[in-house]
Structure 1
Amino acid sequence: MDYDVVVAGAGPVGLMVASELALRGIRVLVAERLTEPDLTIKAGAINVPTAEALDRRGLVPRIRAAQAAQMEQIKKFMAARGGGAMPPRPRFLGHFGAIWLEAGNLRGDDDPWAELGPAGQIAMLSQADLEAVLAAHAVEWGVEIRRGVALTGFTSAIDGVRVTLGDSEVETSWLVGADGGRSLVRKLAGFDFPGTDPRITGHQALLTMTGDDDLKPGWNVTDTGVYVSGPIPGRVLTVEFDGPPAERDTPITAAELTASILAVSGVRVTIDKVISATRFTDNARQATDYRRGRVLLAGDAAHVHSPFGGQGLNLGMGDAMNLGWKLAAEIQGWAPDGLLDSYTAERHPIGAWVLDWNRAQVEIMQPSPYNRAIRAVVADLAATHDGTTYFGTSIAGLRQRYDLGSDHPMVGRSAPELVLADGTRLAAALHDGRAVLVGDFPVADDRLRVVTADTPGMLVRPDGIVAWVEGDGELDEALHRWFGKVTGR
């Protein structure tokens, strides 16, 4: 084979999958149809699982620098609009259906961000900045990235995949489709992709304009739609509830954006320049399985939905962390039975939750009296301490858990921020992509790092998920389930 894995798509998800494979010695090619990174304005924040993933691969210093630049842009916007208090630290609370969540309403006696370490200090990060960091990370681990090369077809067999890239063909053992919501990989492979049809037209743009002083900052619900102004200068988002756009691929003009802003806000702006713009809908679909033979899907190729609540990028990053080590194990020949299939089993329920979470938001933003009545009830609940904590921790990904067959509250969740006996953090022990076994156990396997800490024994998978806790079943069973035969056991 020319490669062990070909990844279609060099967005954040494709780059993260490739990096996760490469740090384990897997030969990876990333094929991207665009000649340059896509700088279109998209996601503007990451959630806690994504921040933890970056921390566990040693990328926090680079992310902090990018976040600092974005926070300066936010401060600039707020100063221009009369100021306002900045939160004491970046927190990914955001909104639910354009109902803004105030960090001050969180339950003070049980702050879920308090013990997160560096991951609790990262939230405001643009998708373009994240992609740049991940591209550099992938190259450092030896990933080959070919830009301006489109995947146009492939033939999958029992022992590999022949992929057509432009005018050439390559042989690979596996193909990963991370090529977005209109994934050609998904379509050619024949994945089922059921869901619900779009009902809205959304625009998000970065503009230079005049007359926008009358646009209220933040999320605003009007009689005719929804709009957002900020939190960086020139950023505007509009939502109209008159069906999906007639065109998705034609260039977005200043006239189109001017009309949309006027329709939902009643404010007539003059747009001098469209720096970046995109259309979106609430089309919500999910592949029934993320694997067909030697073809796998990740990110938007596996699930699409509206961007409300900032879940899409984060959902895809979770896919990448879950898939990378499992596919590497399959290629290297040590994966226990069913390990690769656990990718769909674990990630599909998280994706299904996100789709419903987004559908609920669209419903309470609809301008009908019935929808607005429901919205008022939700807004009252969201303003309570328990309501803010529920919505905020859900958006931040703090309530995510895989069903690994255990009732222990830690098993299936992200590992806690631990300081190890040598003074280092657990996240640092995960930098090289190996699993970590916390405790004094006689294991001498190069797939696991054994460390000690003032805590009960714990097995942490390479993706940072707790797979076993001392006192909850046998360690040998957990090791065999996730790693097969382990030296020293």
Structure 2
Amino acid sequence: MDVDVVVAGAGPVGLMLACELRLAGVPVLVLERGAEPDHALKAGAMGARSINAPSADAFHRRGLLEAVREAALWWYEPDPRTLRAARDAAESRTGAPRDRRAQDADAARLTPPDGPAFAGHFAGIPVRADRLDPADRDLAGHTLGGGAISQFALEEILARRAASLGAEIRRGTPLTGLAADADGVSVFAGGEVVRTGWLAGCDGGRSTVRTLADFTFPGTDAEFLGRQAMVEFAGPSRLPLGDWVRTAAGAYVHGPVPGRVHTVEYGHAHDRDTPVTAEEMRASLLRVSGIDVEITKVLVGTRYGDATRQAATYRRGRVVLAGDAAHIHSPAGGQGLNLGIGDAMNLGWKLAATVRGWAPDGLLDTYTAERHPVGARVQGWSDAQTALGRADARTAALRKVMGELLDTTCGATYVLKQISGLGQRYDLPGDHPLIGLPAPDLSLPDGTRLAGHCRPGRALLVTGEDDHGVRALAGAWADRLTVVTAEPGLSMLVRPDGHVAWAADGGCDPASAERALHTWLGVPESHV
């Protein structure tokens, strides 16, 4: 093999996966078709990507959260009513185009609106922060916050980390062909053939890897067409700055900074292969808003749709998929990036264990088993928001009912937890309430916190100092497991992705811990 793993795509998902593989010592080559990041991603208002609770947790466990916060366009502190404004230096950090409006898009300070603060939205219907249940266990345990970051800035952070860990990143090198067999994959890219043990397709919604490897990708076609652009107007704009406006033809918004326009029209064909023009944006705004504004120039522009598709499986032999290559849906609610980061965290350690030879039977197949249901649920919530965006009278009535539900404590709390990923869990064996959830960030007797011990990407056996029966097991798996001393009373096996695989309260049977170690960490090296 030339390299153990080839990752196609140097977006956030591919780079995060490369970081996870390198933490485990697996040689990895990242191939990226673009010679440099997409121009549109450099403008914060265009390339902003939401960071939800599971992603913040993943970045925290890998020591990346502070860098993400520093580069964020805005960030919610643990109190959801507090919105931290973007730093004045955002423009220089994100490498925004030098045009004034594009600079404004990255450097703009976003401030809470007058009146009640909002914690999120569902199909544009706001979720008020003062309607949330402060006693809810998941909300109370959420201390990391969330926000938005330009994709360009996030890719810079992850690319630096991947390179520092030893990943090779080749830009301007599109994958053009592949030939997979039982022993590996021959990858054709940049006029060369690279022989690899495994190929990970992280190359987006129109994935070349998914197509060439013949993954089935069932789903539904797009119902609406969204356009957003940073534009220049011919004089003072007649289009007022403000929130989303719904009309009989769709919806539109101008803002949050001057020059950013965004339209959504139902029933329009989805063409992503031609540049967005000034006339196209003018015509779309006129159809949706009824206001004719003269647009002289499109600085950056993109189109998107709400097609919903999901690969039937995320693995075929030696080829795996992650991120948009595995699932696509409407961007409403900002779930796409977060879903992909979760894929990378789940896949990384399992693929690394398989490459290194210690993975128990079937471990890699649990990637699809665990992540496919998460993706399907996100798609369902995304489709529901598409349905609530239609302009007919019955949908308007349904939106009114939904708005009333979101104005209740139970409704607001439930919806926010779902769209933020709080309480997301895997269906793993065992009946302890922590199993399948991200491990709590415990305060430890030595003054550290549990998340700090997750940075090397190893499994953790967390237990009290006097729990000799459980601690005695760790030595057999010392090459892939770290023992962490906690206060007496709770023992946990935390997988490398941060999820609890086994847990027991004080006085547990060491035999149950040993079974969990075999299930997730395979045969001890000393027994091979």
TM-score range, shorter chain: over 0.9
Structure 1 residues 115 and 163: CA distance shift in structure 2, 3 A: same
What residue number does 2:497 align with? 463
Q: 1:272 offset after TM fit, Å?
A: 4.7
| 1:48–1:123 contact (8 Å) kept in structure 2 | no
| 1:178–1:300 contact (8 Å) kept in structure 2 | yes
Alignment of structure 1 residues 107-256 onto 2, 5 Å? 107-110=133-136, 112-117=138-143, 119-120=144-145, 122-209=146-233, 211-212=236-237, 214-215=239-240, 217-245=242-270, 247-256=271-280
Residue range with higher mean Cα deviation, 40-49 or 97-106? 40-49
Q: 1:385 offset after TM fit, Å?
A: 1.2
What residue number does 1:2 align with? 2
Q: 1:107 offset after TM fit, Å?
A: 1.3
Q: 1:487 offset after TM fit, Å?
A: 6.6
Deviation per residue, 1:443-468 (Å, 9 max, x gap): 12131111122250111111010111
- 2-structure distance, mates of 1:79, 1:462: 38
| 1:45–1:127 contact (8 Å) kept in structure 2 | no
What residue number does 1:274 align with? 298
What residue number does 2:50 align with? 45
- 2-structure distance, mates of 1:437, 1:452: 8
What residue number does 2:113 align with? 84
Q: Secondary structure at the match of 1:450?
A: strand
Q: Secondary structure at the match of 1:277?
A: strand
| 1:212–1:267 contact (8 Å) kept in structure 2 | no
Q: Secondary structure at the match of 1:248?
A: coil
- 2-structure distance, mates of 1:42, 1:280: 13
Q: Secondary structure at the match of 1:107?
A: coil
Structure 1 residues 371 and 157: CA distance shift in structure 2, 3 A: same
What residue number does 1:55 align with? 60
- 1-structure distance, mates of 2:7, 2:355: 15
Give the counterpart of 1:64 among 32, 53, 69.
69
Q: 1:221 offset after TM fit, Å?
A: 2.1
Structure 1 residues 446 and 212: CA distance shift in structure 2, 3 A: farther
| 1:116–1:417 contact (8 Å) kept in structure 2 | no
- 1-structure distance, mates of 2:87, 2:377: 30
What residue number does 2:484 align with? 451
4+ residue runs of structure 1 moved beyond 6 angstroms?
Answer: 74-83
Between the two proteins, the alignment pairs up a number of residues equal to: 483
Q: TM-score, normalised by structure 2?
A: 0.86
Q: Secondary structure at the match of 2:56?
A: helix
| 2:463–2:484 contact (8 Å) kept in structure 1 | yes
Q: 1:232 offset after TM fit, Å?
A: 4.7
Structure 1 residues 194 and 313: CA distance shift in structure 2, 3 A: same
Establish whether residue 307 from structure 1 lines up as the match of residue 331 from structure 2.
yes
What residue number does 1:348 align with? 372
Deviation per residue, 1:243-286 (Å, 9 max, x gap): 333x2210001221122223223333443543322111111000
Q: TM-score, normalised by structure 1?
A: 0.92
Deviation per residue, 1:381-426 (Å, 9 max, x gap): 1111111111111111013111013333211111112111211111
Q: Secondary structure at the match of 1:7?
A: strand
- 2-structure distance, mates of 1:451, 1:301: 37
Q: Secondary structure at the match of 1:45?
A: strand
- 1-structure distance, mates of 2:498, 2:155: 21
- 2-structure distance, mates of 1:282, 1:68: 25
| 1:191–1:287 contact (8 Å) kept in structure 2 | yes
Structure 1 residues 272 and 432: CA distance shift in structure 2, 3 A: farther
Residue range with higher mean Cα deviation, 478-487 or 266-275? 266-275
Amino acid at match of 1:475: A
Amino acid at match of 2:403: A
Matched-pair identity in %: 51
| 2:86–2:108 contact (8 Å) kept in structure 1 | no
What residue number does 1:479 align with? 517
Q: 1:79 offset after TM fit, Å?
A: 9.2
Alignment of structure 1 residues 400-419 onto 2, 5 Å? 400-419=424-443
Amino acid at match of 1:479: L
Deviation per residue, 1:174-195 (Å, 9 max, x gap): 0000111011110111101000
- 1-structure distance, mates of 2:116, 2:163: 35
| 1:156–1:294 contact (8 Å) kept in structure 2 | yes
Q: Secondary structure at the match of 1:123?
A: strand
Amino acid at match of 1:50: S
Give the counterpart of 1:359 among 383, 387, 406.
383
Structure of higher RCO (CA pairs closer than 8 Å, 6+ residues apart)? 1
What residue number does 2:24 align with? 24
Structure 1 residues 181 and 419: CA distance shift in structure 2, 3 A: same
Structure 1 residues 488 and 375: CA distance shift in structure 2, 3 A: farther
Deviation per residue, 1:146-169 (Å, 9 max, x gap): 000110001101101110002111
| 1:99–1:219 contact (8 Å) kept in structure 2 | no
Give the counterpart of 1:286 among 304, 310, 317.
310
- 2-structure distance, mates of 1:394, 1:146: 37
What residue number does 1:368 align with? 392
Establish whether residue 35 from structure 1 lines up as the match of residue 35 from structure 2.
yes
- 1-structure distance, mates of 2:148, 2:184: 40
Q: Secondary structure at the match of 1:26?
A: coil
- 2-structure distance, mates of 1:129, 1:466: 31
Deviation per residue, 1:52-88 (Å, 9 max, x gap): 1111111122112102678545998899999735999
Calculate the aligned-residue CA RMSD, in Å: 2.6
Amino acid at match of 1:21: L
- 1-structure distance, mates of 2:380, 2:181: 35
Q: Secondary structure at the match of 1:152?
A: strand
Q: 1:204 offset after TM fit, Å?
A: 2.2
Amino acid at match of 2:346: N
- 1-structure distance, mates of 2:153, 2:237: 26
| 1:74–1:231 contact (8 Å) kept in structure 2 | no
